[in-house]
Amino acid sequence: MSTPRNVPLRRALYVGTFIHCKTLQELDICENGVIGVDEHGKIAFLERDAENVDLVTAAHGWGDAHIVRTSSSQFFFPGFIDTHIHASQYPNAGIFGQSTLLDWLNTYTFPLESSLANVNTARVVYSRCISRTLSHGTTTAAYYATNHVDSTNLLADICLDAGQRAFVGRCCMDSLSPDFYKDISADAAIADTKSTIDHIKSIDPTYGLISPILTPRFAPSCTPPLLHALGQLHRSTDLPIQTHISENLGEVQLVRKLFPESTSYAQVYDMYGLLTSKMILAHAIHLSTSERDLIKERDAKISHCPASNSALTSGGAKVRWLLDSGITVGLGTDVSGGYSPSMLEAVRQASLVSRHVAMLDGDAAKLSIEEVLYLGTRGGAKVVGLEDRIGGFEVGKEWDAQLVGLALVPEAKAAQHEGALCAESFKLPSGEGPVDIFGWESWNEKVAKWVYNGDDRNTLSVWVKGRLVHQRS
Ligand SMILES: O=c1[nH]c(=O)c2nc[nH]c2[nH]1
């Protein structure tokens, strides 16, 4: 259930517990809060310790506002920002066998992506992908489509219709790709990319919700003329860019062979004017120190994709090492190298992968719950250049949020007072989600339980720019 786009927004008051990331290390937990969201979907005011909601409503003159309240086991949390997802690969989520990147592309990925030349196929795939990511609390996504203009434009239409904030990229690939799925020339790739930019401009002229994003697939699938032309297009449009970097050792070797004049993979993108503050680099596992420093110097951003990096046995990205250098990092599901469209799963895997990295590099590599949640929200907002608009709950930001509900075990309280309970009362209620709360947990502990055990059953409602875009029935 969601609110259609043509229905004007009403002012709304969100009442109860709000949790968001204050810093990389700290959650801000606000019980008894009230957030007022105006008819443009922006946070107009935020009151802490509001014992009496009526007084708040009266003080702001918001008596007509719609009210949404949390119960004692629920909280509002910022929507997740998926900084790297291939919407076109969604039907393959979970299918990768024993493959690694380069054979995975040929065996699983190119055949599927090429099938989206058919707009009807694309409609089914993209509609389902967007419904599913919204149901997992993804309010913003940086999407790769395919190289087909019509179906890429359709992805933008569907995102706008569903109300999901999105960056939509037509995938550029004029080299080392199969004949059945390849741009015929650099000029054709640029012309088609411009068609998608024009289309998105026509459906969302201010890029208020949907923005085009330049998408060279990765250096091995782009000729120098295409990379050069994309660099020029970036300079003339100032549009963001997304690509892959240093995901797999075979890929790194291939880049060395294809671009012998470059000193590194990162330098290939730099040489063509693509390594800028608007570039999102996915994976970044096998970077040298000088590449890391170059990325930092250019203020390019990194999308860490832990589930995919494990699934395709690509490697363990050294996120602490990246963060310590001052690079901005967000998280990506990387469907379908990543097996799940859930950003909560990406958050969880970022924590677990950091523990594997710590087993090799030392304890400092471990990421805390606060840190992985930061990467999935505020970090992601910075990666996509929207840190002034989304990622946390502050006045002036847009209401991109999810209502998270945990299952409060009713018998836990009763047991303290009444002793033994009959076995009947321990039946699991249906539809409450897998995170059980016994009533003694602090909010930090409840959040940790959600991160390690939660799924989409815990995401009860989702809003983007104030509009309800998903509600669990
Ligand atoms: O994880 C990945 N998914 C892809 O589709 C891709 N293409 C190039 N490199 C890639 N890596």
Please indicate, yes or no, if residue 393 is contained in any of the structural domains.
no
Please indicate, yes or no, if residue 2 is contained in any of the structural domains.
yes
Task: Give the side-chain half-sphere CA count within 13 A for 424.
Answer: 1
Is there a contact between 193 and 149 (Cβ–Cβ < 8 Å)? no
Read off the CATH number of the domain in which 467 is found: 2.30.40.10
370/29 Cα distance (integer angstroms): 12
Tell whether 256 and 321 lie within a shared domain.
yes
Long-range contacts of the stretch 200-209 (C-beta < 8 A, 24+): 200/153, 200/156, 200/168, 203/156, 203/157, 203/160, 204/156, 204/160, 208/465, 209/159, 209/160, 209/163, 209/164, 209/165, 209/166, 209/464, 209/465
Tell whether 42 and 125 lie within a shared domain.
no
Rounded to 5°, angle at Cα 189 from 184 and 195: 130
181/116 Cα distance (integer angstroms): 10
Please indicate, yes or no, if residue 389 is contained in any of the structural domains.
no
CB of 334 within 6 A of ligand 1: the answer is: yes
Q: What is the 230 CA–ligand 1 centroid distance (Å)?
A: 19
Smallest CA separation from ligand 1 atom 10, residue: 244
pLDDT at residue 164 in the model: 98
Ligand 1 atom with the smallest distance to the CA of 337 is: 1
Please indicate, yes or no, if residue 282 is contained in any of the structural domains.
yes
- pTM passes above 0.95: yes
Please indicate, yes or no, if residue 391 is contained in any of the structural domains.
no
Tell whether 87 and 70 lie within a shared domain.
no
Ligand 1 atom with the smallest distance to the CA of 334 is: 1
Please indicate, yes or no, if residue 215 is contained in any of the structural domains.
yes
Ligand 1 atom with the smallest distance to the CA of 218 is: 8
Tell whether 245 and 376 lie within a shared domain.
yes
Q: Considering only the C-alpha atoms of the chain, give the largest distance between any 2 of them, rounded to a whole number of Å.
A: 77
Tell whether 276 and 135 lie within a shared domain.
yes
Domain of 12 in residue numbering reads as: 1-78+400-473
CB of 217 within 6 A of ligand 1: the answer is: yes
Read off the CATH number of the domain in which 221 is found: 3.20.20.140
Q: What is the 122 CA–ligand 1 centroid distance (Å)?
A: 19
Among 332, 357, 383, residue at a domain's last position? 383
Ligand 1 atom with the smallest distance to the CA of 308 is: 1
Q: What is the DSSP letter of 328?
A: -
Among 325, 351, 383, residue at a domain's last position? 383
Tell whether 237 and 365 lie within a shared domain.
yes
pLDDT at residue 172 in the model: 98
Tell whether 123 and 92 lie within a shared domain.
yes
Mutate to test the pocket of ligand 1, among 83, 109, 249 (most ligand atoms within 8 A of CB): 109
CB of 247 within 6 A of ligand 1: the answer is: yes
CB of 337 within 6 A of ligand 1: the answer is: yes
Ligand 1 atom with the smallest distance to the CA of 283 is: 1
Number of domains in the chain: 2
Please indicate, yes or no, if residue 131 is contained in any of the structural domains.
yes
pLDDT at residue 421 in the model: 59
Tell whether 177 and 51 lie within a shared domain.
no
Please indicate, yes or no, if residue 454 is contained in any of the structural domains.
yes
Tell whether 261 and 180 lie within a shared domain.
yes
Mutate to test the pocket of ligand 1, among 174, 244, 265, 281 (most ligand atoms within 8 A of CB): 244
Tell whether 63 and 50 lie within a shared domain.
yes
Mean pLDDT, 10 residues at a time, the chain of 473 residues: 81 98 98 97 97 94 96 97 99 98 98 98 98 98 98 98 98 97 98 98 98 98 98 98 98 98 98 98 98 98 99 98 98 98 99 98 98 99 98 98 95 65 67 92 98 98 98 91
Tell whether 179 and 34 lie within a shared domain.
no
**ipTM given for this complex:** 0.98
Tell whether 54 and 94 lie within a shared domain.
no
User: Which residues on adjacent β-strands are paired with residue 67?
Assistant: 13
pLDDT at residue 262 in the model: 97
Among 324, 350, 383, residue at a domain's last position? 383
CB of 218 within 6 A of ligand 1: the answer is: yes
130-150 in b/e form (b: 16+ CB < 10 A) is bbbbbbbbbbbbbbbbbbbbe
290/223 Cα distance (integer angstroms): 24
